[in-house]
Chain A
Amino acid sequence: AQKVTQAQTEISVVEKEDVTLDCVYETRDTTYYLFWYKQPPSGELVFLIRRNSFDEQNEISGRYSWNFQKSTSSFNFTITASQVVDSAVYFCALNSGGYQKVTFGTGTKLQVIP
């Protein structure tokens, strides 16, 4: 069975602060993929990153960075110097077992206050 837990339901930060969104996943498979998606108020989910289980190298893309740790089954997402445009709901997701189904967490609503 696949499971994704995002314990933080809502986070508020002041603009320019750094913020980390936590994600913990469960799977028995050795091959799996992890994702982060952003959902602005318009409703469309926007792809941010995909990692496979064999690549634990952390990744940085502009103000975004991701920390993947298999030892703790975590895939955390950090936004540096947050901006108002970062306000959205962020979902962590998991695909494993060779199936096409993607399991999403319940999301973390991020509010960046100017």
Chain B
Amino acid sequence: DAGVTQSPTHLIKTRGQQVTLRCSPKSGHDTVSWYQQALGQGPQFIFQYYEEEERQRGNFPDRFSGHQFPNYSSELNVNALLLGDSALYLCASSLLQRGEAGELFFGEGSRLTVL
């Protein structure tokens, strides 16, 4: 049973460029959340996708966008990269349980460096 997989694992971009990160959720999960983790900090919630729609969003600018596909996989896109976007981007999958916070399963992350 494959867990959460993310790609790429590492990437380097320059300021102003755009990046796309990909995530395949754990088998049987229908919800994908994205988190940004700066060095030495806890993960910060970016947004969550369920049924191919963005359901909730954290305090991130519109440069951060996403998509969920019919097979529940997801992409995170970041436009006009800034140096401050350098971080580990974590994908978490879960099974939506109405009225209850389920356990999140995380991937190993995509480490983005912006030069």
Give the interface of A toward B (CB within 8 A).
4, 33, 35, 37, 42-47, 50, 52, 91, 93, 95, 98-107
Contact = CB atoms under 8 A, between A and B. Distances in A.
Contact of A91 (B42, B92, B101, B108): B42
Interface string B90-108: 1010001001110111111
A95 B42 CA distance: 14
Contact of B109 (A33, A44, A50, A93): A44
B106 A102 contact: no
Contacts of B33: 100-102
Interface of B: 31, 33, 35, 40-45, 48, 50, 55-56, 58, 88, 90, 92, 96, 99-101, 103-109, 111
Contacts, number: 63
A3 to B, nearest CB: 11
B31 A47 contact: no
Nearest to B4: A44
